[in-house]
Structure 1
Amino acid sequence: MQSLFQILMLLLDVVWFFIIAHVIMSWLINFQVLNLHQQFVAQVWHMLNRILEPIYQPIRRILPPMSGIDLAPLITLVAVYALRIVLVNNAAVFY
């Protein structure tokens, strides 16, 4: 059962990393530091969008429009962190 706990924590860490990378890339693309015409940048951007959009869409449906500010990544990060707290506090179940 300890393996299950470690796998869940690893998956949450990967999701956390993907969200942070997506947010940073979106800033760099908006400030024209990165260019989507570069093949590698476009591939990474589209991969991150394919992975994260199914997570963001339900959150975006609930949130009211914020005039250009997307709070879905922030709420997703808070949810991932909350899941980590719940798992760590209930780690005794996995041992």
Structure 2
Amino acid sequence: MVLTILQILQVLIQAVSFVVLVQVILSMLVAFNVINTYNETVRAIYQGLNKGTEPLYRPFRRILPDFGQIDLAPFALLVTLNILSAIVLPRLMLWYIGASPL
């Protein structure tokens, strides 16, 4: 049961990482005017991704210094998610099955 929950967390971390990457790429495309938000579909996707990722960025924005136009919150979030995915969850799995001390 616990291993299944940890595997589900692993998949959720991967999904959130993908959404953050899509949001970063889309915001760069909008910022460089490659695509514009006059199209209702683009605007809806853009606003939906911003509303979905903003609560995840907020704690990082409070900690990180202000760099003006450069937002490092997505990068910090991706680093945190990768640390959770590559280090923390595998150690919890090994600890649970008794193969390694925590």
Normalization by structure 2: what TM-score? 0.85
Q: Give the residue type in structure 2 aligned to 1:35.
A: N
**Which has the higher relative contact order, 1 or 2, with Cα contacts under 8 A spaced 6 or more apart?**
1
Where does the alignment leave 5 or more consecutive residues of structure 2 unmatched?
98-102
Where does the alignment leave 5 or more consecutive residues of structure 1 unmatched?
none
Normalization by structure 1: what TM-score? 0.91
Question: CA separation in 2, counterparts of 1:83 and 1:13?
Answer: 10
Runs of 4+ in 1 over 2 A off after TM superposition: 92-95
Larger Rg: 2
* Corresponding residue for residue 100 of structure 2: none
CA contact (8 A) 1:4 1:94 kept: no
RMSD (Å), alpha carbons: 1.3
* Corresponding residue for residue 16 of structure 1: 17
* Corresponding residue for residue 90 of structure 2: 88
In the alignment, is residue 33 of structure 1 matched against residue 34 of structure 2? yes
Distance 1:11-1:94 versus aligned 2 partners, 3 A rule? farther
Paired residues in the alignment total: 95
